[in-house]
Amino acid sequence: MLRAALATPLRSDDAAGTLVIGTFLTLLGSAITVGMAAGALAVPVVTPLLVVAAPVVLAPAFVARGYHLRVVAEGIEATTGGAPPFIGWGELYRDGIRSVLLSVAYLLPLAVGLAGVAVAGVFVELGRVDPASAVAPVSAPAPAAGALGGFVAVASLAYLVAFAYLRPAALAVFAATGRLRDAFRPTAVGRVAFSGSYAVAWALAAVTLLTGYVLATPLAPLLVGFGVIFVARVAAHVLYGRGASGAIARAVSSGALDDAIDPAPEQVPGDPARRSDRPTHTEASPNVQTGRSVPVERAGPETNDGIVRGRSAEGAADADADVDADAADADPADTDEFEWGP
């Protein structure tokens, strides 16, 4: 499982392009995130402006997160075609935002708890709350306060470990169904998180990420380190998908989880926004978008799908009409076979 996951970025048909784009997005996302965090800490006044500009400024990070979600989906399907190509950038961006919202929702209880402890500490410092009544039965208030701080630290660390274990499981459920709300269903996420295959895959992914970051640290100035980080992240998300695939299949078979993405809304007669006679704009195939196969054919032969390559449909019809007209006006004698003679 680990060997196949590590080879995933290099086994795709567009491995070079995937590695270059992934490395570039990883570099941009890391640099912009660190820069925004440093700016918010150095100049707190600009924090609201950074929040407003985040959807645009953090676009590379969102696209990278959306790509990781797509990698998890590929891992769940257990495909052997390698890493998916970077296509459908709008979808990657939207999925990346949903991935961030998932993480924020799972971290919200910890943030609320720490905020409550911080507010209580501020009230004590300002004299609004007298802690004497709480620590009066304790002979040593200072050690008691230290113990309380240690408990908060241990509880926070335990929550972060649980978050690191449960978030990939929730991400796998989201990738399998395409519905963000399914990532918050305890039954679905629990089936994945408490399965043996997912536990093994998560442990391998943790070792892969740790090794990747250690190897990438000295190579970061050469920009090669960001490529190592990208490969490690792709391998880890492949492992998440592979480990969760069995539990998700069992959840679907038992009815605890639907495997179908939300169906399209029913067509309402007379609704101009949903008219079936409107032309649909389909996305080009991955081969065309990645530049691996861009067919350029001469005008003439008609393919099996009825499309004449190398010319538009109108031009093809006009050309065919001209040919038919010329054939009808031609002298039958002119059509005789040419004979060589003296």
Tell me: pLDDT of 167 over 90: yes
Do the Cβ atoms of 185 and 173 come closer than 8 Å?
yes
> Average pLDDT of 329-334?
52
Q: Quote helix, strand, coil % in the chain, to nearest 5.
A: 70, 0, 30
pLDDT-based confidence at residue 280 (cuts at 50, 70, 90): very low
3-state secondary structure of 308: strand
Q: What is the pLDDT of residue 269?
A: 43
Task: Give the residue among 84, 94, 114 at the shortest CA–CA distance from 13.
Answer: 84
Tens digit of each residue's pLDDT (9 = 90 or more) over 226-266 = 999 999 999 999 999 999 999 998 888 877 676 544 433 34
Residue carrying structure tokens 């300002």: 126
Tell me: pLDDT of 200 over 50: yes
Chain mean pLDDT for the chain: 77
Give the residue ranges of DSSP H helices in the chain: 2-11, 15-42, 47-57, 59-77, 89-125, 132-135, 141-177, 186-193, 196-216, 224-253, 286-289, 313-329
Tell me: pLDDT of 196 over 90: yes
Tell me: pLDDT of 318 over 70: no
CA 342 – CA 305 distance, rounded (Å): 49
pLDDT-based confidence at residue 274 (cuts at 50, 70, 90): very low
25 burial via Cβ count (<10 Å: 0-12, 13-18, 19+): buried
Instruction: Pick from 43-57, 132-146, 215-229, 260-274 the range whose average pLDDT is largest.
Output: 215-229
Tell me: pLDDT of 301 over 80: no
Q: What is the pLDDT of residue 128?
A: 62
Higher pLDDT, 248 or 295: 248
Tell me: pLDDT of 286 over 70: no
Partners of residue 308 on adjacent β-strands: 302
Percentage of the chain modeled with pLDDT above 90: 42
Task: Give the residue among 212, 199, 205, 198 at the shortest CA–CA distance from 242.
Answer: 198
Q: No. of H helices and E strands in the chain?
A: 12, 0
Do the Cβ atoms of 6 and 228 come closer than 8 Å?
no
Q: What is the pLDDT of residue 327?
A: 52
> Average pLDDT of 150-163?
94
Q: What is the pLDDT of residue 24?
A: 94
69 burial via Cβ count (<10 Å: 0-12, 13-18, 19+): buried
> Average pLDDT of 202-220?
93
Residue carrying structure tokens 């629990």: 190
